[in-house]
């Protein structure tokens, strides 16, 4: 894809669980724009309205813990978030994000403040904090994940290859 993503940082704390990302009561739908409207509502009811296409979610430890509901990653993706950065991710959320083509990257998020301008090169997964003019080292992803991300997610990946190839 070779895409460069740019946007502002929305900072979140530790242990943001999937119920906070999208409340269970909203999940019974295939209307993904509706999910995006309720993103992180129980953490901050105004955040969904303030997010602009390309912005980043920047969290602490264990982002996405809790249920396997993919609606959490879907809500983030459909809200226009370009990537989620965290000190660590809960396992299922991490996989869901990659499989949806939403970059989920582990890095030291203390290097980012609320509202900082960030830039991510999808091809090389190199991340910069433009506001602070510093590069942010990212924990490299495994080859399988990189390939899936590059194709834009698991569906386009399997559509192209028909099976897992690596």
Partner 1 sequence: MKMRGKTIVEKIISSHCREGVKAGDFTVVSVDLAVTHDATGPGVIKAFEEFGKKSVWNREKIIFVFDHAAPSPNEKVSNLHVMMRKFTKEHGIKLFDVGCGVCHQVVIEKGLVLPGDIAVGTDSHTCTYGALNAFAFGIGSTEMAGVFLTGKLWLKVPETLKVILNGGLPKGVYAKDVALKMIGELGSEGADYLAIEFIGEALSQMPMSDRFVLSNMVIECGAKAGLMEADSETLCWLKGRARREFSPVRSDDNASFVDELSIDCSTLQPQVAVYHSVDNVYPISEVEGESIDQVFIGTCTNGRAEDLRVAASILAGRKISDGVRLIVCPASHDELLKAMKSGAIEVLIEAGAVLIPPGCGPCPGTHLGVPGDGEKVLSTANRNFKGRMGNNKAFIFLASPATCAASAITGKITDPRRFL
- Strand bridging mode 83-86 / 56-58: parallel
Both tokens of 59, joined, read 């969290």
SS3 124: coil
Using CB under 8 A as the binding rule, whether residue 12 contacts partner 1 is answered as no
Please enumerate in sequence order all residues whose Cβ is within 8 A of that of 104, keeping only pairs 6 or more positions apart, or say none: 63, 83, 84, 86, 89, 93, 94, 97, 98
Binding partner 1 by CB under 8 A: which of 92, 105, 118, 149?
A: 92
By CB under 8 A, which span of 26-34, 46-54, 104-112, 113-121 interacts with partner 1?
26-34
CB distance 63 to 93 below 8 Å: yes
3-class secondary structure, 164: coil
The answer to whether 142 contacts partner 1 (rule: CB under 8 A) is yes
Contact status: 125 vs partner 1 (CB under 8 A): no
Q: Which of 5, 9, 10, 27 binds partner 1 (CB under 8 A)?
A: 27
Q: Does 155 bind partner 1 (CB under 8 A)?
A: yes
Segment near partner 1 (CB under 8 A), from 4-12, 46-54, 70-78, 118-126? 70-78
State which residue, 2 or 28, has the beta carbon closest to partner 1. Answer: 28
Between CA 3 and CA 109 the distance in angstroms is: 22
Residue 92 to residue 86: CA distance in whole angstroms: 14
Which residues in this chain contact partner 1 in the complex, by CB under 8 A?
A: 15, 17, 19-20, 23-25, 27-30, 42, 61-62, 65-71, 73-74, 88, 90-92, 95-96, 99-100, 142-144, 153-155, 158-159, 163-164, 166
């Amino acid at each position: 894809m070779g895409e460069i993503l740019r946007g502002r940082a929305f900072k979140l704390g530790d242990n943001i669980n999937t119920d906070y990302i999208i409340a269970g009561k909203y999940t019974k739908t295939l209307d993904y724009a509706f999910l995006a409207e309720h993103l992180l509502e129980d953490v901050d009811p105004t955040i969904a309205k303030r997010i602009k296409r390309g912005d980043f979610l920047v969290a602490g430890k264990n982002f996405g813990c809790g249920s396997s509901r993919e609606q959490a990653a879907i809500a983030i993706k459909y809200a226009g978030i370009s990537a989620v950065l965290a000190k660590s991710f809960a396992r299922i959320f991490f996989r869901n994000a990659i499989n949806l083509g939403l970059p989920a990257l582990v890095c030291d998020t203390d290097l980012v403040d609320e509202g900082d301008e960030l830039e991510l090169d999808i091809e090389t997964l190199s991340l910069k904090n433009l506001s602070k003019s510093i590069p942010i080292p990212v924990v490299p992803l495994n080859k399988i994940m990189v390939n899936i991300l590059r194709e834009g997610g698991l569906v386009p990946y399997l559509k192209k290859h028909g099976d897992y190839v690596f």
